[in-house]
Amino acid sequence: MESFEQLKNQYTPMIYKIISTLNITINKDEFFQHGLIALWEAHQRFDAYKGAFTSYAYSFIRGRILTELDLSRQYNERWHQAKVDLGDYIADPFSTSPLEEDTLLCYCQSGCLTENQTKWVLYTFLNQLDVKEIAEIEHVSLSAVKNWRAGAKEKLRRIMEENVL
């Protein structure tokens, strides 16, 4: 029998031809490696009494590449589907439901919050923005937003204490 290096050189064009006829355009090198492994296995398992090695190798390599192609397809379907499904359940932090905004506005009105304190509440709890981001959006200083926050917290705390007692 021939050495595997000679076999590899002789059957490399066949492996590329199989890849081409199966219209594999992505991960060609990976499928070529699977083809080489299949060639080696075919070389190990070949029985000369059952026929010619070329036809045996062709069907063995093609079968192995088809199996790997199917496994690759299944893997991609499972993982890409999972990514899409997870995206359906992850809430967009900047999307708000009208009910959430109405509830916050109700607290702000009952607490007699100023317009700026109300802005702080909405930016913080609806959009999850920090003080620096709010200051940039509103074009005010950082200390101004901190004052809005302190005033809003104090008024809302008072409202909550009154409702609890």
d(CA 89, CA 116): 33
pLDDT at 61: 92
pLDDT at 81: 54
Positive or negative torsion for Cα 106, 107, 111, 116: negative
Tens-place pLDDT, residues 29-51: 999 999 999 999 998 888 888 88
| For residues 91-116, average pLDDT | 70
DSSP string, 48-110: GGGS-HHHHHHHHHHHHHHHHHHHHHHHHHHHHHHHHHHHHHSPPTT---HHHHHHHHHHHHH
> Do 29 and 15 contact (CB within 8 A), yes or no?
no
E strand or H helix that includes residue 116:
helix 115-127
Q: How confident is the model at residue 117 (pLDDT cuts 50, 70, 90)?
A: confident
Task: Report whether pLDDT(53) > 50.
Answer: yes
Tens-place pLDDT, residues 122-159: 888 888 888 899 999 999 999 999 998 988 888 878 87
What pTM was estimated for this model as a whole? 0.48
- Least confident window among 16-20, 22-26, 52-56, 88-92: 88-92
Q: Give ∠ CA 55-56-59 in degrees, rounded to 5.
A: 85
Tens-place pLDDT, residues 63-100: 999 999 888 888 877 776 545 444 444 455 555 555 57
| Among candidate residues 44, 84, 74, the one with its CA nearest the CA of residue 60 | 44
pLDDT at 113: 83
Task: Report whether pLDDT(10) > 60.
Answer: yes
